Structure 1
Amino acid sequence: MESLYVHLTRIERLAPEDVNNKVRMARMLMMVGEIDNAELKANEILALDEESADGWLIKATIALQKGDPQGAMTEGMKSLMLEPENTDTLTVLAGAHRMMGDEARAFALLDEALEIDPSALAARMIRMELNRQNQQMEQVEADLRYMYNAQPDSEDFAIALAGLLRETERLQEAETLLDDFARSHPGSSRAVRGLVEVVDAQGDTQRADRLLQTFIDNAADSDVATLQFVLIERLMAHGQQTEAMQLLEQLMSAEQSMTRQRAKARRAELYFAEGDDESGLAQLTEVLQDDSQSEPALLVRSRYFIQEGRIDDAVRDLRVVLRNNPDSEMGLMLLGSAYMGSGSAQLADSNFRQVLRLNPGNIDAAVPVINRLLADGDLGRSEQILLNALRRSPNNESLLSLLAQVRLMRNDWTGTEAIISDMQALEGNRAVSEYLSGRIFQGQGQFALAMTRYEAALQQEPRFQRAIEGYAVSQLELEQSDLLLEWLEQRISADPEYIGNYAVKAGVLRQMDDFDAAISVINDALNAVPQWVQGYVQLAGLYQLQDQVDSALSAYARGIEQVDDLSLYALKASLLEQSGRIEEAIDNYEAAHQLAPTNLVVTNNLAALLTSHDPSEENVRRALELTRNFRNSDEPYFLDTHGWALFLFGEVQEAERLIRRAVEGLPDLAVVNYHYGRVLLAQNRVNDARAYLSKAAELAVDDPQLMTRVTDALGQLDSETVAN
């Protein structure tokens, strides 16, 4: 795809007014999640041809993805007026109406699109999803059967239809479907696995075993090993460890190198699970001596490194995997986990998004991306990712709960109620559905009714924190703070070791500006549960609200004595830095780094403080040592820190390369512009240096210390200009 985009870019340079080429580029940008760049390209299309139906459709699609249904309808209607039978436009308009709660109109538009073109996959998928939410399973099945009949070789549709049959307790039909598909499509290990599971679900384990063995016996050479790995996992699940290990050892001696590598990597995983790390590492070393770039071995070893906190080692292995196989879903997933473990949420998010482009149904990748989007208020993209994931896992309660929260944030009460019905039909955790019902009543201003639903949730799960918080919000809306405080005190007395009740009570008192009482509640909680890290953070925060910095620092110190937690060291160091107590801040960052040497954020902050506070040769060498692995990072903050240390050490050319990349990623950060300006000045690139230093001066108005450095650098630049 990257080479295709390069080709399209080359065409654009040669023919800048080629609208069709720009349309292809915009669609490709949307496909890889570059929404903002796709929108810029759509604007270019419409500037060249304001009657481009594709241009307006792209704008409508982007508006829908950004959670702007009204904008999607406006732009979509412009496209539809130009091309009345464009099924993609009708589908986008249906999505907009659905987002606004008008399901009847959404269904009508989808039906219209499918009448024009029955093969319009997106329209059929969305209609199927709407029918599923409304428990119209016959219509869901009809659409699934249409798609399967239209694409009888599609493994995805075969498995989805079998899943629906199994969900509706038609196990024999599901078995027949999967059996026919597996026999007519040799090599479909997913179909065989599904078939075995369906037979298992009928209580016939022995027949399931015989079926699997039959498929293994009849498989082509290249497919035998794949099914044997399925058999190994099945044997282990049934407690037949000896038989599983015998088969695994047989595969470890297979003729095909990939089969051997995969089997040995699986054996290493089992060693790690047994706690025998030495044997696990030895097994992986044996594989990597034969093939230093073995993907199965590197994936298993990187997972082990992540669990051991050896993030740099894990990243090194995963970069090899992804260099050879950029679309390795597991490689991208593990790299995201590694970055998350190192405190680099931005890099983790980038990797999880790449996973979702490969597999929209990957729940482990979807959840952190959705949480980040929700934190940014991006409801449109959150909902789109959730819907994509739910197509693969329609009964996943975590995804349904997240989707309900998105719809609550949109005030989409009807959509939320439909999800609650789905969750209740699963007969899972009723506490969540009761809580969501409470959220609906709360959103509609029916606070007393909301409180009854929250209490029902708490009867199911007494420590359901969100239900406690919802109850508190509703009772505060009824202006019953005294009753609320009594209710919370009763809960504390009944369960003195559950810190959630203390946290809510302290929050209520803080909202009432009774800081002393809030501090007293947090202290009570910490006396009951001294290991509560967030309690020390909240205590320090309450002191900071009253400008009591020393008391806040004492709260962090008290926590460190009890817990020795990384976040407490880092927060204390940050507060010391803000207070101008730099030497103490450095000491705390050093302690945090000693506690978690693989945490990249702590490492970065320590190195940056060493070079900004006292750029002595000793401190610069220490910063270079700390950040030596930042050289190949994609994180602009890390590039800037390492680049600045290189500059101070006299490595100006390499510093320029790194800080240039940093300023491209952080164009509006004053300190990065200052660093780049200083580097350019050292290279005697006077005009460029002036531009970056002047921009740093504009951005540093609230940072007097940095402003002094920028002013000095500009003065030096002016002096050199006069001298020349």
Structure 2
Amino acid sequence: MSILVYYLMILKNRKGLLNMLTKSFVRILSVLMLVGLIAACSSGEDRQEKYLERAQAYFEEGDIDKARIEARNVLQINPKNTAARQLLGEISYDDGDIRKAYGMFLSVLDENPDNIAAHTSMAKIYIAVKDYDKTIEHSNSILAIESDNALVLGYKALALAGQGNIAKAEEVAAGALLLDPGSTEALGVMVQKYFNEKSNEKGLAVLERGQLANPDEVRIISMKISLLENMGKTEAVEAELIGLADRFPEESRYTQTLAKYYVRESNLDAAEAALRGFADNNEDDISAKLSIISFLLQQRSKEQAIQQAESYLDEDKDQSKFSAALAQLHLFTGDKDSAVSVLEAAVDRDPRSVGSIEARNILVSIYLQEESVDKANNLLAEVLDIEPENADALLTRARLSLSDGEIKDGISDLRVILKNDPESIVAMTLLAAAQELEGSEGLALDNYKKLMTLQAPDLAVLTSAARLAISSEQYQEAESYIRQALELEGDNASLVTNLVKLLVLKEDWDAARSFANRLVDSEKSRALGYFLLAGLDTRLEDQDSAIKNLKASLKAEPKGVESLTGLSSLITEKNGLEAAVAFVGEHCKNYPTQAHCRHLFGSLLAQSGKLDLAIVELEEALSLNDKLLITYRQLAKVYGSQRNKEGVVAVLERGLAATQDQGLAFDMANFYYQIGDFQKSS
């Protein structure tokens, strides 16, 4: 992974290292703005100023809830107060509600288009989602007012690099570092430059200068660790990781990273010591103890992991997470009885506790694997009696309802989950699928669209959304979804086929041909690619090209029923029936065991009046595949043309016996009716 990509990932992960910023430049600007904009000229303005000062103080102290209340108090007095809106945007951003933050920052710019803090916040959002054009747009708005803003120059440099304008990005980043050697964004660009040039020592020197200028910035340390790893300086990597773990003794992620490093270096004792040290120093952190159990399972032995889980449970029998962990370990080792025993003990210890609910939900999954549905349903009823809106239980019950065809019941449970957790990916995915089954395709498509805003859509979501968009004739959206899906799986023949069909509807022939050729270039789907090209040629009334492509399709896949049938029709239309008979007959000679070829050859012979030869070929087709309904019907027609009533009846009876298709019984009844044998017809 490149240093720059690694850095962008850090920047995008709001819950990750970005939150480690202590006094961000944006917040400093915000403070200056708050102080500068508020003038105590009246009683209302005095109150605004006091609320705003308190809001900012709470925000700096990390008391987000109180900061939010005080900032809202400002807006109750003056809804257009841009300082309060900016602060609420910062709060929403820190809470992870990017959409609300975006709205707040945008409202600030509506009131004051030159607001530096709001433009900076917008640039930060856009660089995180890799919208480089918008990042540069907001950065330029700031730099037109404040050309020596190192932070914003860093954002612009990152965006330019993302656009591929590397030379300009490096120029802008170098300028930012002259202003502030600790500009993290600019450092990311310059370190990538030196990494690409294999000048890692220069990159390291730049980072060390950045550390001196900005010693509390964790992202600089993270880039340094990544570079040191590439340089093979393991001792320096270890020292930096230990330094981070020591600096943040209550943040498990740094100790976890250190432990993973030791595992990678095959130093399991050091890894275990790091994890145990963190757990000892954070006795109330249950996840730290669970990490030790996980480590023992993965790196030591199942027995040691079970022994540790039992020890933790003995120390704290009311801690449901230890019961759950121990049960899962027993399940992992195949000891289902012990797992059930642990979980039942947790339920009996305190039947209405949170731990007992969790234990019941695990028991439900065990019983469903055993197909003991009644036991599972009884436990689900117990859980929902104690906690009527328990998400795990509702989700399981919804799945059971949907699998039983009780669509409305399943949808009802899923809506309760989403009422409490509107961003539940699992519940929303199930709801969309259920709504499609129910026939509410519009609602299903809306939910697939919501899923795409919550996370990067996977192939299944994009494919489902495309299918529904096509069904509702929203072809532009369908095309967009298919194109996104093809970025995930470029050789998916079904997706390419659907895209070609959509492009044909738009009469975008060049694009359709381009995607069809993508399949031609794929050995696995070459026959389909040629077949699609032939379809395009047919639409454009280019028979010669269509015939050429169908022949290529048939060569790539000699069993291609559609290609052979299409060729038969085109050759008949262009060169006459006898030419088609000759072509198909030659193909059957080369591939004598293809039932469909024999059927097609017999049908062509019948059209040319060679009924006896047609019967021979059709009978040969049925000897190869006695389930071919179309062949029984075609053979009956030939006998009918010969006015051979017994032959018609015999072949239809044979077909009915071989296929059990009631359509043939109807054909027989219709035949008797036509010849006036009403009793047999009845």
Give the TM-score of the pair, scaled to structure 1: 0.46
Which of structures 1 and 2 has the larger relative contact order (alpha carbons within 8 angstroms, sep 6+)?
A: 1
Q: Whose Rg is larger?
A: 2
Give the TM-score of the pair, scaled to structure 2: 0.49
